[in-house]
Structures are given as C-alpha cells and as structure tokens.
Amino acid sequence: MFNNLTEKLNSAFQVLKGHGKITEINVAETLKEVRRALLEADVNFKTAKEFTTNVKKKAIGQNVLTNLNPGQLMVKIVKDELTLLMGGESSGINLSNKLTVVLMSGLQGSGKTTFSGKLSSYLLKKKGKNPLLVACDVYRPAAIEQLKVIGEKIGVEVYCDESEKNPVKIAKDAVKYANKNGKNLVVIDTAGRLAVDDKMMSEIKDIHLAINPNETLFVVDSMTGQDAVNTAKSFNDILNFDGVILTKLDGDTRGGAALSIKSVVDKPIKFVGTGEKMDAIDVFHPERMADRILGMGDVVTLVEKAQDLYDEKQARILNKKIAKSQFGLDDFLEQIKKIKKMGNLKDMVNMIPGASKAVGNNEVDEDSFKHIEALIYSMTPSERSNPKIIDVSRKKRISKGSGLEIQELNRLLKQFQQMSKMMKMMQSGGSGKLMQMMQGMK
C-alpha cells in the first residue's frame, strides 16, 4: 500500500539535501513536489493544499539540530502532519454497553458482508465478545448464504429470517434475540447499492432509527480513492456515522482515501482490511500509517502480529535452541508457516524500517517460500535437524525429491547458515557485525 506515494515523497525530500537550514526558497520547491505527490495519490485537492500550507508554517526558519539534516527535519514535520491528517490517534469500537449494536453501511461491493465477519471474529478473539451476525441484505442474491458461510467459518451465530423482507423488522428482531440469548455484540450487515440513491438512504436511516446502534460504521473500498471520500460524505449527511472502515487497503498503492477521508467527514478511520482472510483486519493507527507512508516501516504492528502467533512458552523453547545452536531446518519450516499466517508478504516486508525503499514497486512473490518448503520436505528428520550432514549424494536425492536444481538447495543451505549466525549475534548483542552481515545478504 502507498508505494507510489512513498517513492514520490522521498524524492521530494531530496531537494533539501545539502542545505543547512529550511528556507522559504528551498521549502517551496519541496512542498510543490509533496503537493503533487498527494494529488497523484488521489488526495482531495483542498486537503492537499491545507496540508502543505500547515507543513510550510511549521518548517520555515527552523534551524537544523546537530543530529538532523534539513531533509530529516522535513520528514519529521511531514510525518506529524500526516498523523494529524489521518486522525491523530487510533479510535476503537465503543464496547462499554452490556449489548453493543454495530450497524454496517456502505455501497455494494465495498466489502460490508466480509468485513462484518472479520469484525465479529476480531472482537470474539481479542475482546472475548459473544457476537451475533445479522443478515439484513434482503436484495442481493446469495447475500444471506454468504453471511452463513462466513459465520460458520469463524464460529459465530448468524441471525436471518428468509421469510421476512423488511430489513427494519429483521434488525429489531435480531437485537431482541441477542438480548434473550446472552449475546453481547450484534453486527448488522445491511444492503448496498451500486450508487447512492434515495431508497437505499431511506432504508438505512430507518434501520438506524429503529435500533439506535452504539456504533454506525461506513465501509468503503479504499481503491476507489476520491469517490470513496465523496460517498462517505453523502452517507455521513444522512447517518452521522461514528467511523470509517477502509477495505482492500493492501491493493491501494495510492492512499488517497486514507489521507482525505478524516479531513472531509471529520470521522475517524477505525479499522482497515488488508486481505481476503478473516484475520486480515487491523486497528487503524494514524502514526504507524504515517511511518509506513514515509518508508519508516511499522515495527510495532509487525511485533503485534508476531505476538498473536507465538506464546511465551514457544518463544522460550526457540530461544534455547538458538542459544545451543540447535535451531534446525524443521524449526525454520515452522517459522515459515507462522510468517505465512501473518498476512500479505510485501506488507510485512514494508513494515521493516528501510525495507520499502529497497523493495520499491517490485512485486514480492507470495509463493516465494514454496521452493524452500519443497526442499525441506524432501529431507530426512536427521538432515533437517543437522543440515551439516547433507553431502553430495544426499543433495542429489533431495534435489530429485523436490524437483529443484542442486543450486537451489545450496542457496538455501547457505542462507540458513547465515541466518543462524545472525540469530546467534542478536542473542549475544553483536549489532555491528550483524548489520555488516545483513548488508551483505540479499
């Protein structure tokens, strides 16, 4: 996400390279490029103009600190402004009520039904909620069936009444059912349309008035850019919703919707969808997103994703193996499986500071682990635990079993050896040597 914007912003900051101070002249050229980058990212024109004006006010005349150059200082100012532009701080769901009712709204194709499932699954796992999914889309073919499939997949009950065609009555009945059956969260999936129309707006407004939800969320496809922002404004005028859900953010290389929507409707982005899987949901953190846009990575989110997959006991066992040089290829295979569960590979790489610049717009192959898995699966348990015993004859057998060339196996063994050394250095605190080794590796 945001790859094009990241590249153009970094290019804009290069204008200040070599200067000792940020002045009216050199900042004007930089901000001209910044504004152009924002507009090309499909950011609202008024938002882009106000953004660069605010940055200019804060930047002009600032003396550069001894440990910063003008480019770095400008990056910090831009980062702070980007954070404010996107809301300043994260804003979660209000779960203070005994029964929390969440109403999902948005256009057809925005991902409401899928995200209703994602949100229910997230609040079930992270907040210990007992959710009820409600099917109020009585128009779209197979909408109810889709929600049933999602509910079964995530282990959440789905309320539907296929004989009833009035979505207002379904919503009211569902809330009554939730109260009677010990549910403390109701997520209502409503119908969408291909465009904003009076009938759709009237219906969603009637549902809203009938159930008085604790949270009304507007779901929007981030890839529609400025159209997403305009639609959000139309919905907000009718519903006065509480927050925005941006879906398909993993496919949005521009980022215009994420950057404009808060300033236009003055409502926070609460969650983002970053993939098709049910766990591809993240709380939206403006500061972390600003870091990612500027190519600084997002280590905090990366660590949180890793913590979701590792428990303390597993981490201790892994630590001991590394300390005793007992970390084998079977352990490596286990880590690959966990990495694949963490989400989109390119997004994870871009969470590592500086990595987005190295990757650029190049594609990161989601199947890049397949050949490694094939090679390891072709090894015996003793070869996996102790790769040093793999001689020429064993290499031929492994190569034949995996269907890959011996050169591929040699490359894997070499990289595994380097990685083992790196992990050992990380434990012993040899950061200098570790950096040298990382710079020498692809």
Q: pLDDT, tens digit, for every residue of 150-186?
A: 999 999 999 988 888 899 999 999 999 999 999 999 9
> Residues of the chain with pLDDT > 90: what percent?
25
The two three-digit tokens of residue 180, written as one number: 């009677």
For the ranges 143-147, 277-281, 312-316, the maximum mean pLDDT occurs at 143-147
Residue 302 clears pLDDT 80, i.e. is over it:
no
Ranges of H-type helices in 198-328:
198-211, 226-239, 256-265, 286-293, 299-309, 312-323
Contact in structure between 13 and 53 (CB atoms under 8 Å): no
Q: What share of the chain has pLDDT > 70, as a percent?
A: 77
| Antiparallel, parallel or unpaired: β 215-221 and 100-106 | parallel
Position 310 scores a pLDDT of 62
Strands 281-283 and 269-273 come out as: antiparallel
Do the beta carbons of residue 179 and residue 97 sit within 8 Å? no
Task: Give the DSSP H/E element, type plus range, for residue 134.
Answer: strand 131-136
Q: Which of 120-129, 224-233, 239-248 has the lowest mean pLDDT?
A: 224-233
Tell me the CATH class for 100-293: alpha beta
How confident is the model at residue 175, as a pLDDT? 94
User: What is the pLDDT averaged over residues 7-18?
Assistant: 73
Integer Cα distance of 416 and 238 in angstroms = 58
Where exactly are the structural domains of the chain?
Answer: 3-85, 100-293, 301-440
Quick check: 434 pLDDT over 50?
no
Query: What pLDDT is recorded for position 309?
Result: 63
Q: Do domains 100-293 and 301-440 have the same CATH topology?
A: no
pLDDT band at 439 (very low <50, low <70, confident <90, very high): very low
Identify the H or E element spanning 172: helix 167-180
Among candidate residues 217, 206, 193, the one with its CA nearest the CA of residue 271:
217
Least confident of 73-82, 167-176, 361-370, 424-433: 424-433
Beta bridge partners of 281: 273
Cα(418)–Cα(437) distance, integer angstroms: 8
The answer to which of 52-66, 80-94, 125-139, 336-350 has the lowest mean pLDDT is: 336-350
CATH class of residue range 3-85:
mainly alpha
Q: What is the CATH number of domain 301-440?
A: 1.10.260.30
Q: Residue 209: pLDDT band by 50, 70, 90 thresholds?
A: very high
Q: Is 351 within 8 Å of 299 (Cβ atoms)?
A: yes
Q: Are 29 and 51 in contact (CB under 8 A)?
A: no
pLDDT tens-place string over residues 286-301: 888 888 777 765 556 6
Per-residue pLDDT tens digits for 247-286? 877 665 566 777 888 888 888 999 988 778 888 888 888 8
